[in-house]
Amino acid sequence: MIRFEKVAMRYGQGAEVLHDIDFELTAGSFHFLTGPSGAGKSSLMRLLYLAHRPSMGSIFMFGKEVTALPRRALPALRRRIGVVFQDFRLLEHLTALENVMLPLRIAGGEEKVIRQHAEELLNWVGLGDKVLSLPHTLSGGEQQRVAIARAVIAKPDLLLADEPTGNVDPDMAHRLMHLLIELNKLGTTMVIATHDMHLVQSLSVPRLHLSAGRLYHLAPGEQHGA
């Protein structure tokens, strides 16, 4: 379970970008995160993947109050979180296959099994012929698919995805969402940040909606302000 209690966030001495945020994600739940540009979605995602600490309030994650933990304790928690960044953040000196293998290599395991699993995932996302390609030789959509495969390979407890279908065609978007839905069925808590309301309307799941740094809890199909 993940819980935010009265969380606020600011950068340096600037104004608060998130105000009085309260929400709870039960284990295995699926939520969309929506809101206009500048509403605070990226800041909320940074708090969720432990890149920043809140300026006020408490965050509970995996049975711990993470706001009170020393920095040396955070890497172990981050390994339980998969993240698909909007700018992909692939390691340029590694092939597509090596990028996808990386989380399991860090966790430890048999190289042959890790490689096989990574190859299967790349085949699933339509990149079976790109396993030895370096990121700079791939299109934006291909890099996005590598990033998604890397994020899901370790079956994380929490997966955060920022516009995971933003650079792919509708057929591939459907395939990628199917992959995320299947991972969710296995117990991974899912938060998908998106501007794509067609995607939001295609799944009957609750929505966290940010507007001017404040969070609104919306039921499936509910519109903010309705």
Max Cα distance, the chain (Å): 53
Q: What's the pLDDT score for residue 183?
A: 93
15-50 pLDDT per residue, tens = 899 999 999 999 999 999 999 988 999 999 999 999
Structural tokens at position 181: 């839905």
Q: How far apart, in Å, do the first and last CA atoms of the chain sit?
A: 29
54-83 pLDDT per residue, tens = 999 999 999 999 998 999 999 999 999 999
Nearest to 210 by CA among 14, 16, 13: 16
Q: How confident is the model at residue 225 (pLDDT cuts 50, 70, 90)?
A: low
Polymer length in residues for the chain: 226
Least confident range of 30-39, 93-102, 173-182: 173-182
The span from the CA of 144 to the CA of 89, in Å, is 9
The span from the CA of 110 to the CA of 202, in Å, is 39
Helices (H), the chain: 41-48, 74-78, 96-107, 111-124, 140-152, 170-185, 197-202
In the block, tokens 């706001």 appear at 67
Contact 79, 34 (CB under 8 A): no
The span from the CA of 223 to the CA of 206, in Å, is 11
pLDDT at 226 over 60: no
pLDDT at 91 over 90: yes
The span from the CA of 82 to the CA of 161, in Å, is 8
pLDDT at 194 over 80: yes
103-157 pLDDT per residue, tens = 999 888 899 999 999 999 999 999 999 999 999 999 999 999 999 999 999 999 9
